[in-house]
Homo-oligomer: A and B are copies of this chain.
Amino acid sequence: MRLPPERFPGESGLPLSLNTATIKRATLAEAARLAAEHGIEGIGPWRDVVEAAGGAKAARALLDGYGLTVTSLCRGGFFTDADPGARAGALADNRRAIEEAAILGTRELVLVAGGVPAGSKDLRSAREAVSAALEELVPHARRWGVRLAIEPLHPMFCADRAVVSTLGQALDLAAPFEAADVGVVVDTYHVWWDPGLFPQIERAGREGRISAYQVCDWLVPLPADTLLGRGHVGDGRIGFAPITTAVTGAGYTGYVEVEIFNQEIWDADPAATVATVVERYRRYIG
């Protein structure tokens, strides 16, 4: 495991990483340049920008040129389709994602579980399908030195996006596997409301399973598309200090990845967005 860089250590001691979804319309080259210009040493790319940059090898070369550490790859998952063909397709795609993560030089492949399939009302089966998919993917991930990082999504996405809804549930799903093979993502937007959050962060740390710490804020009111209700750190109702303290207290020493889905931020100048990301990181996290 690489040591975290020394820049922006701040109070939490956690270095900053820029998730490319935050500046969605930037290419990987632009994102890398902006990160480097702002002294950010970590980057969390999405697969689509990696592909647009010529694939994982080309992307790795590009990011190495800026001295950037790849902190995670977003994303694999979507395991809950009951149709056997769709399921096989999803597993094949996840195997490719594992290989891409390895080539990019990150251990952490972020997984979004998938929702309750259209036409189904069977949440339990959808959740069982996630366990089964992990079972199938772990050997391939291990071979490539990649960890499957289960991201619990906010329960409002349970029906259509991710049947993994809490950190505790993600840890229960991870439990049958080695901590080196299956981890969990702590994303403030998805978990901040959870009355069981702090003991589960402590547990995640104790089990050595915190793959990534992602941050953005919860805006009020939510916009029409709830997927885009995320704001810059500090613009919403989330108290970051207690969550960051819990994450570092649990022994996490990786990066803080800023991942924001928000149409207004996507429409803004990416350079201005990155400047705000750094400023908010310094004020609320660092």
CB proximity of A127 to chain B, nearest CB, Å: 8
Q: Are A193 and B158 in contact (CB under 8 A)?
A: yes
Q: Are A168 and B195 in contact (CB under 8 A)?
A: yes
Q: Are A194 and B239 in contact (CB under 8 A)?
A: no
Binary per-residue interface labels of chain A (235-248) against chain B in the complex, 1 for a CB within 8 Å, 0 otherwise: 01111101000000
Q: Are A192 and B123 in contact (CB under 8 A)?
A: yes
Q: How far is A120 from B116 in the complex, measured between Cα atoms in Å?
A: 34
CB proximity of A220 to chain B, nearest CB, Å: 5
Q: Are B123 and A239 in contact (CB under 8 A)?
A: yes
User: Which chain A residues in 162-215 approach chain B with CB under 8 Å?
Assistant: 163, 165-166, 168-169, 172, 192-196
CB proximity of A228 to chain B, nearest CB, Å: 12
Q: Are B222 and A226 in contact (CB under 8 A)?
A: yes
A159 and B121 in contact, given A166-B195, A195-B165 (Cβ under 8 angstroms): no
User: Which chain A residues in 58-112 approach chain B with CB under 8 Å?
Assistant: none
Q: Are B120 and A237 in contact (CB under 8 A)?
A: yes
User: Which chain A residues in 10-24 approach chain B with CB under 8 Å?
Assistant: none
Q: How far is A172 from B199 in the complex, measured between Cα atoms in Å?
A: 15
Residues of chain A whose beta carbon lies under 8 Å from any beta carbon of chain B: 115-116, 118, 120-124, 127, 154-156, 158-160, 163, 165-166, 168-169, 172, 192-196, 218, 220-222, 224-226, 236-240, 242
